[in-house]
Structure 1
């Protein structure tokens, strides 16, 4: 009986909402999509509402609009305008606004697929391209220290767990390597500073000789590369859950791309490093606690539809912070 009551209430509210939308359209002369475009500024505020409106529509054309191929966006907009009986000549800005938002929506969908493909591709030491990326990462982070061999304890110097980094990429596949290399090459100064900080002793009273001998188990920070892969997982979860829509709809004028995702990773690496220092954990055993707290902070920020996470480095073209 309780379930039936809830179902009837749901149907009543749904019918009431549809009736209200009909009345509003008759009074204002505008459909829901028009009202969203005219009453909301470009970015997440507008695009999130358009996305929700399209997904909740009873019309098949509107429902499928969020998953069309990018090449079909313009035709889809024309079809929507025709369906809604909106004259594009007297409403030119509406078509432009809808097109911009739809590009963002389908772009986010495609980015999810691209990121997932990289995550699912395992690191292959027999693949020359994979090996080349790994060597570039070493050279970017340790330009003055040539590797003594492909299998070497030197990898621990940039935060891998053992002598062969390939084993550390298992969780995030090539996505972790792509992100680390992007950070090291496009925000090199910050990456080197974070790496340097991660290797510093927690207590400065330790002598230089003792520090050199114990620097990998007495660091204030963490294993740089391992944390980078972990933060890749955090960025991946934000993307897959849809939480990153707020940020990406605010910073990508058209379609969000892999570069936007990698720049977001750079921001998260830098901010996590600051957060780790603020939290001042006793040791690496507190990593999960600190990471969980950091994750919650980012999620809270992304609930603000005007929020844009902005990497603090010159290579970024993301200029929007709290629009």
Structure 2
């Protein structure tokens, strides 16, 4: 109760009083002070995002929910509203613009990823079918499929004779991730597939891969991946960045799994959660960038 009262008083009274005092002492608004003291990346973007979100100005609050095309206009609006002398603070507009691109870009990235996730695998869609067959060819170059529906799919870790049923949870996002890893890190993908076929502690490569897609998606959705992207991209993150993060998860999970040496695949959920907690801990570092 005491903590709640303090948070309320700080957010609605003390914070604004302190900002007013600092404005008169330094001659700079809070946004300028953040750009001065915070280094590029997550430190600055998070602080700018917090300041805008908790501003009393509706115009500043709206700046965290804009599109890429609106960024320059909002930078100009903020400069005007906060009466910033850009001749004395020449770096401010550039720094603020980068932060707004990162903040709006993260929201757009989630929207783009969500659009792919919502797209169901359709066996009547020629493009979907071609991508699935390409995945097989990349992972199993020396073995041809006997038919489209076959138990051979189990060789790369699908559950049944037709992989389309395994994509229900993550839709085309699951296939897009698997295919990106196989296209861009072909040797690594084949090596991890061979690891997954270990006779004692192996796992279902494709199913685990789709499970890791869900993990990456949830981290993106709840904002845990913000620091990673704010540090990795000085501007607008693209969906390839999400695929790259997925590749990191696949590679690290394989190492984690064999280091832990589970008694059985039946304990997968337990070890998945442990791995998930490790990743969240890494992402709690504001300086973090996770990549192969």
Shorter-chain TM-score range: over 0.9
Which residue matches 1:170?
Answer: 168
> Aligned pair in 2 of structure 1 residues 18, 72: CA closer, same or farther (>3 Å)?
same
The superposition leaves residues 28-49 of structure 1 with CA deviations (integer Å, 9 ceiling, x where unpaired) of 1111111111101100111011
Which residue matches 1:271?
Answer: 252
Q: Distance in 1 between matches of 2:267 and 2:27?
A: 58
1:226 CA drift (Å): 0.2
Q: 1:243 aligns with which of 224, 243, 254?
A: 224
Q: Distance in 1 between matches of 2:61 and 2:15?
A: 18
The superposition leaves residues 98-155 of structure 1 with CA deviations (integer Å, 9 ceiling, x where unpaired) of 1111101001000111111111111000011111110111111011111111001111
The superposition leaves residues 209-236 of structure 1 with CA deviations (integer Å, 9 ceiling, x where unpaired) of xxxxxxxxxxx22010000000000000
Q: Distance in 1 between matches of 2:6 and 2:85?
A: 38
The superposition leaves residues 279-319 of structure 1 with CA deviations (integer Å, 9 ceiling, x where unpaired) of 100110110011100110111111110011112xxxxxxxx
Q: 2:242 aligns with which of 261, 272, 278?
A: 261
Q: 1:47 aligns with which of 45, 67, 81?
A: 45
Specify every segment of 5 or more residues in structure 2 that has no aligned partner in the other structure, as ranges: none
What TM-score do the two structures reach when normalised by structure 1? 0.87
Q: Does 1:130 align with 2:128?
A: yes
Q: 1:199 aligns with which of 173, 188, 197?
A: 197
Q: Distance in 2 between matches of 1:7 and 1:240?
A: 26
Q: What is the aligned residue count?
A: 291
Q: Distance in 2 between matches of 1:6 and 1:114?
A: 38
Which residue matches 1:103?
Answer: 101
Q: Does 1:302 align with 2:288?
A: no
Specify every segment of 5 or more residues in structure 1 that has no aligned partner in the other structure, as ranges: 203-219, 312-323
What TM-score do the two structures reach when normalised by structure 2? 0.97
SS in 2 for 1:243: coil
SS in 1 for 2:262: coil
Which residue matches 1:31?
Answer: 29
Q: Does 1:156 align with 2:154?
A: yes
SS in 2 for 1:229: helix
The superposition leaves residues 231-262 of structure 1 with CA deviations (integer Å, 9 ceiling, x where unpaired) of 00000010001000010111011111100000
Q: Distance in 2 between matches of 1:259 and 1:238?
A: 16
Which residue matches 1:15?
Answer: 13
Q: Distance in 1 between matches of 2:266 and 2:95?
A: 49
Q: Distance in 2 between matches of 1:233 and 1:11?
A: 35
Q: CA RMSD in A?
A: 1.4
> Aligned pair in 2 of structure 1 residues 143, 11: CA closer, same or farther (>3 Å)?
closer
Q: Distance in 2 between matches of 1:101 and 1:10?
A: 26
Q: Distance in 1 between matches of 2:271 and 2:62?
A: 41
> Aligned pair in 2 of structure 1 residues 25, 71: CA closer, same or farther (>3 Å)?
same
Which residue matches 1:286?
Answer: 267
1:88 CA drift (Å): 2.2
Q: Distance in 1 between matches of 2:4 and 2:229?
A: 36
The superposition leaves residues 67-92 of structure 1 with CA deviations (integer Å, 9 ceiling, x where unpaired) of 11101111111111111111223322
Q: Distance in 2 between matches of 1:286 and 1:230?
A: 14
Q: 1:188 aligns with which of 183, 186, 201?
A: 186
Q: 1:143 aligns with which of 141, 144, 154?
A: 141
1:12 CA drift (Å): 3.4
Q: Distance in 2 between matches of 1:102 and 1:6?
A: 31
> Aligned pair in 2 of structure 1 residues 290, 59: CA closer, same or farther (>3 Å)?
same
Q: Distance in 2 between matches of 1:234 and 1:292?
A: 10
